[in-house]
A = this chain, B = another copy of it.
Amino acid sequence: MNPEEDLQILQSVDLSISVLMEIAKHADIRLTEIAQNLGETKPRILRSLRTLKHRSFVQRTESGGYRLGNAILVLGTAASTQIDLVKLASPILESLSQKVNETVQLRIRDHAEALCIAKFEPSRDLRVHAVVGRRRPLYAGSSKVLLAFLPEELQAELIPGRPDRMTPRTPVDRARILVELRRVREAGYCISHGEVSEQLVSVAAPILAFGGSVIGGINIAAPAFRTQQADLDRYVALVTAAAREISEGLSGGR
């Protein structure tokens, strides 16, 4: 199909990963639907599922569909202790979340999207819901901290020609986004008022490595109605401190 990009990829493994991702997205999905979504034949998917099941990567549901299995649970836990960023950040996120009593997230840039790889939600009833694995555009909301410290040419590549408008406040003009990114870089943090979701505000700071490259970003997300200017000021101070703490932990810790 495509002329480049595929050197030495084991196809049945690659397919099986796609199958897993499909099951992760839709719990209790059936063989036929997986085959359709991936544009593959049923026997091929069946062989893949059989193998994955044989290793407890998937299991069958009562209704005859498939869901992720225990081995994935185990792997996932191992991953969160192996990925330094998550390992180091988790207690800091938890403490930050308790201090502000709002939801906090750790995000990294994954290609042209922001990917949440850890989160903490406070135990109050009304709170911002966050999901590990969720992807968001880089050009809107506080995800901009992941973009603002990159070389400007790369920024330009990562901003789509015609950005999606998610709310009335979503920035869709490329030139204005670039200006805003410069502002974020100079300030060292980013505040978003309803750029991704109407009723939310989000305050983010970058986790920086040597040489000013960005490793990830942490942000506090809160309902706008209960967030005053004084809260925002406090959030900026706290989120910046937490981000610096993680940065230092990454350089210091072996």
Chain A residues in the interface with B (C-beta under 8 A): 8-10, 12-14, 16-17, 20-21, 23-25, 27, 47-48, 50-52, 54-57, 59, 67-83, 86, 108, 110, 115, 117, 131-133
Write the nearest CB–CB distance from A205 to chain B, whole angstroms: 21
Contact residue among B9, B10, B16, B70 (Cβ-Cβ distance under 8 Å from A83): B70
Contact residue among B17, B21, B74, B115 (Cβ-Cβ distance under 8 Å from A24): B74
Contact residue among B25, B56, B57, B83 (Cβ-Cβ distance under 8 Å from A67): B83
Tell me which residues across on chain B come within 8 A of A55, comparing CB atoms.
14, 17
Q: Tell me if A57 and B117 are in contact (CB < 8 A).
A: no
Q: Tell me if B68 and A79 are in contact (CB < 8 A).
A: yes
Contact residue among B14, B57, B73, B82 (Cβ-Cβ distance under 8 Å from A17): B57
Q: How far is the CA of A12 from the CA of B48 in the complex (A)?
A: 11
> Known: A47-B8, A77-B76, A82-B27. Contact between A70 and B108, CB under 8 A?
yes
Tell me which residues across on chain B come within 8 A of A25, comparing CB atoms.
78
Sample of 16 more A-B contacts, CB < 8 Å, known A10-B48, A27-B81, A68-B82 = A8-B51, A9-B50, A10-B16, A10-B47, A17-B51, A17-B57, A20-B75, A24-B79, A25-B78, A67-B82, A72-B76, A73-B83, A74-B133, A76-B79, A77-B133, A78-B133
Tallying the copies of this chain within the complex gives: 2
Closest chain B residue to A7, Cβ basis: B50
Q: Tell me if B9 and A10 are in contact (CB < 8 A).
A: no
Tell me which residues across on chain B come within 8 A of A24, comparing CB atoms.
74-75, 78-79, 82
Write the nearest CB–CB distance from A15 to chain B, whole angstroms: 8
Q: Tell me if B74 and A13 are in contact (CB < 8 A).
A: no
Tell me which residues across on chain B come within 8 A of A77, comparing CB atoms.
76, 131-133
Contact residue among B27, B52, B73, B81 (Cβ-Cβ distance under 8 Å from A86): B73
Please, could you name 8 A-B residue pairs with CB atoms under 8 Å apart, sorted by A? A9-B54, A13-B51, A16-B16, A20-B75, A21-B75, A24-B74, A67-B82, A72-B78
Write the nearest CB–CB distance from A48 to chain B, whole angstroms: 6
Q: How far is the CA of A16 from the CA of B75 in the complex (A)?
A: 13
Q: Tell me if B27 and A73 are in contact (CB < 8 A).
A: no
Shortest 6 CB-CB contacts between residues of A and residues of B: A76-B76, A74-B133, A68-B79, A24-B78, A77-B132, A72-B79
Q: How far is the CA of A83 from the CA of B70 in the complex (A)?
A: 8
Tell me which residues across on chain B come within 8 A of A54, comparing CB atoms.
9, 14
Write the nearest CB–CB distance from A28 to chain B, whole angstroms: 8
